[in-house]
Amino acid sequence: MPRRKKMKIEEAKAGGERPRGQLKYPRLRGMKDILFDEYKYWDLVYKKATELARVYGFKRIETPILERLELYERATGKSTDIVSKEMYSFVDKNGEKVALRPEATPGLVRTYIEHGMLNLPQPVKMFWLGPVFRHDKPQAGRYRQFNQFDLEIFGDATPIADVILILVAYNFFRELQIAVQIQINSIGCKECREQYIEKLLNFYKERGKRAKLCYDCKKRLVKNPLRLLDCKEEVCIKLREDAPQIVDSLCDSCRDHFIKVLEYLDELEIPYNLNPYLVRGLDYYNRTVFEVWPVEEDGEKSRENRAQSALGGGGRYDNLMEYMGGRETPACGFGLGIERTVLLIREKNIPLKKDDEDYIFIAQLGEQARRKAMNLFEEMRRSGFKVRQLFTKDSLKAQLEEADRVGAKYSLILGQKELMDGTILLRDMESGIQEVIDYKKINADMEKRLSEKNKQTKNGENSV
Ligand code: AMP
């Protein structure tokens, strides 16, 4: 067996995973299962997203995973990689061309138009969390189904709206203890862009530069010249160094808008880098575009790698609503990648806050005791206690191990003797000290003990 294959099989085994080759029905390439141990990080990240969205006045919204293919062809753009190369699209049983959502914004724009949201007080601020699908080449941090945290602001043309989005994105990562820098640029409006593209084309026409460009960039020169700027090929990166920059071609109004955004970022002390090569891959953006890049500790990674591992991106798209058949409505938004966020938290070993819930474990010994204990569990749960159990097991040892595993503060143990005496055994899980208490006084007793215990405990400060 080739050495690499053997190593892969051994690695898979070490991780408790069966090698894909041995499975009858392995999961699809580029798809990911999120198992128990990882899910606590997802909970944390979702909680942070939900909390920040609420604080900044965004309301949650959900849209279908499946939409008409046309929606993305029109909004995202037929010539983009996402639509032309990566979309999961098919014809359904009614002969309708449909697609799995490759990004959230088009569906959210559709919702705004379809539900007449322009009649709501403006701006309309949407918070969205969900899976998106792109048939890209899988690699570390790049999946074919992945999740995004999206915020969109509709009906607000002010630079403050752009700043709020960047602020939330920055806070999101910072509060998850991930160091990031905002990459920012302005790609202006239609008018300034037209002028700039002319300058750019003239630049590439000079002295045989065109011939040196990579194959894709030669095509971009005709189809989408702005994308020459974010090509990842070494020769194209070298060539673009002397290219004119779009910020020098901005009209007065676009320049003012951009300067205001930057002034606020300075004021709020949000670290950013003016990145003249940032254009984003989609057709609909205008004015502010930004990405969130992790700050590398080793400083070794190439620029290209950092762009590949962007944690999120967004920008303004003031013309999309009208382009999609709605009334002219300025808008901006972002999408942050959940998988890459979780990956970084895990890679950097950022400790999670201890689950500090006041769990009470209810254990039983014997058939009769189990019946009563199950009722006690229901009563305590309804009264608001955070109870846990393992009623399927008979062994007290197994039950107390589970109590330890969930981090229970106390266990209440009901056996034959306690059943007869009208008592229950209370075990402090930290000290192991046990005492007998009156069955009728369980609730009052537990409330008192938990509030005393909570006065003594505090969480670690450097955890998330
Ligand atoms: P985009 O919509 O391409 O701007 O992507 C926004 C964010 O989603 C990126 O910065 C990544 O964090 C995440 N992302 C994009 N593509 C993938 C992918 N194939 N797998 C995992 N995360 C992704």
Residue 136 Cα to ligand 1 midpoint, Å, equals 11
Residue 311 Cα to ligand 1 midpoint, Å, equals 7
Nearest to 408 by CA among 459, 378, 456, 453: 453
- Give the percent of the chain with pLDDT over 70: 93
Most confidently modeled range among 65-74, 197-206, 239-248: 65-74
Does position 301 have pLDDT exceeding 60, yes or no? no
Residue 242 Cα to ligand 1 midpoint, Å, equals 29
Does position 16 have pLDDT exceeding 80, yes or no? no
Quick one: pLDDT at residue 216?
Answer: 87
Residue 338 Cα to ligand 1 midpoint, Å, equals 9
How is the chain split into domains, by residue range?
A: 22-189+251-347, 359-456
Residue-by-residue DSSP string for 270-330: --EEE-TT---S-SS-EEEEEEEEEPPSSS-S-HHHHHHT--EEEEE-TTHHHHTTS----
- Phi and psi, residue 35, nearest 5°: -90, 175
Ligand 1 mutation pick, 148, 149, 344, max ligand atoms within 8 A of CB: 148
Q: Whose CA is nearest to atom 8 of ligand 1?
A: 337
The β-bridge partners of 312 are 292, 336
Q: Whose CA is nearest to atom 9 of ligand 1?
A: 312
- As a whole number of angstroms, the distance between CA 129 and CA 55 comes to 16
Ligand 1 mutation pick, 32, 81, 336, max ligand atoms within 8 A of CB: 336
The mean pLDDT of 383-402, rounded to a whole number, is: 97
96-105, 152-161, 347-356: least confidently modelled range = 347-356
Quick one: pLDDT at residue 4?
Answer: 52
Q: Using one digit for the tens of pLDDT, what is the confidence trace for 316-325?
A: 999 999 999 9
Ligand 1 mutation pick, 34, 82, 83, 146, max ligand atoms within 8 A of CB: 146
Structure tokens at 68: 């008409």
Residue 427 three-state SS:
strand
Does position 456 have pLDDT exceeding 80, yes or no? no
CATH 3.40.50.1820 for domain 359-456: no
Q: Using one digit for the tens of pLDDT, what is the confidence trace for 111-141?
A: 999 999 999 999 999 999 999 999 999 998 9
Residue 336 Cα to ligand 1 midpoint, Å, equals 7
Residue 270 Cα to ligand 1 midpoint, Å, equals 22
Quick one: pLDDT at residue 308?
Answer: 60
- As a whole number of angstroms, the distance between CA 438 and CA 354 comes to 31
Across all residues in the chain, what is the average pLDDT? 91
Q: Whose CA is nearest to atom 20 of ligand 1?
A: 142
Residue 54 Cα to ligand 1 midpoint, Å, equals 23
- As a whole number of angstroms, the distance between CA 24 and CA 21 comes to 8
- Give the percent of the chain with pLDDT over 90: 75
Structure confidence at residue 13 as a pLDDT band (50, 70, 90): low
Q: Using one digit for the tens of pLDDT, what is the confidence trace for 278-300?
A: 988 777 899 999 999 999 765 54
Ligand 1 mutation pick, 305, 339, 342, max ligand atoms within 8 A of CB: 339
Quick one: pLDDT at residue 303?
Answer: 47
Structure confidence at residue 452 as a pLDDT band (50, 70, 90): confident
Residue 103 Cα to ligand 1 midpoint, Å, equals 9
Pairing between β-strand 145-154 and β-strand 272-274 as defined by DSSP bridges: unpaired
Structure confidence at residue 181 as a pLDDT band (50, 70, 90): very high
Quick one: pLDDT at residue 231?
Answer: 87
Quick one: pLDDT at residue 302?
Answer: 45
Structure confidence at residue 305 as a pLDDT band (50, 70, 90): low
Residue 335 Cα to ligand 1 midpoint, Å, equals 8
Does position 61 have pLDDT exceeding 80, yes or no? yes
Structure confidence at residue 97 as a pLDDT band (50, 70, 90): very high
- Phi and psi, residue 52, nearest 5°: -65, -40
Quick one: pLDDT at residue 11?
Answer: 52
Residue-by-residue DSSP string for 154-222: ES--SHHHHHHHHHHHHHHHHHTT--EEEEEEE---HHHHHHHHHHHHHHHHGGGHHHHS-HHHHHHHH
Angle, helices 36-55 vs 159-175, to 10°: value is 150
Q: Name the CATH code of domain 22-189+251-347 (choices 3.40.50.10790, 1.10.1050.10, 3.40.50.2300, 3.30.930.10).
A: 3.30.930.10
- As a whole number of angstroms, the distance between CA 321 and CA 148 comes to 21
Structure confidence at residue 222 as a pLDDT band (50, 70, 90): confident
Q: Whose CA is nearest to atom 10 of ligand 1?
A: 312
Ligand 1 atom index nearest CA of 148: 8
Ligand 1 atom index nearest CA of 82: 3
Quick one: pLDDT at residue 12?
Answer: 53
Residue 131 Cα to ligand 1 midpoint, Å, equals 11
Residue 132 Cα to ligand 1 midpoint, Å, equals 9
The mean pLDDT of 337-363, rounded to a whole number, is: 90
The mean pLDDT of 170-180, rounded to a whole number, is: 96
- As a whole number of angstroms, the distance between CA 139 and CA 125 comes to 33
Ligand 1 atom index nearest CA of 310: 10
Does position 29 have pLDDT exceeding 80, yes or no? yes
Q: Which residues contact 92 (CB under 8 A, 6 or more apart)?
A: 98
Quick one: pLDDT at residue 281?
Answer: 74
Structure confidence at residue 58 as a pLDDT band (50, 70, 90): very high
Could you tell me if 79 and 224 are in contact, meaning their C-beta atoms sit under 8 angstroms apart? yes
Structure confidence at residue 304 as a pLDDT band (50, 70, 90): very low
Q: Which residues contact 106 (CB under 8 A, 6 or more apart)?
A: 67, 71, 72, 74, 75, 76, 324
Ligand 1: residues with CB < 6 A are 103, 134, 136, 141-143, 146, 148, 310-313, 335, 337, 339-340
H or E stretch including 153? strand 145-154
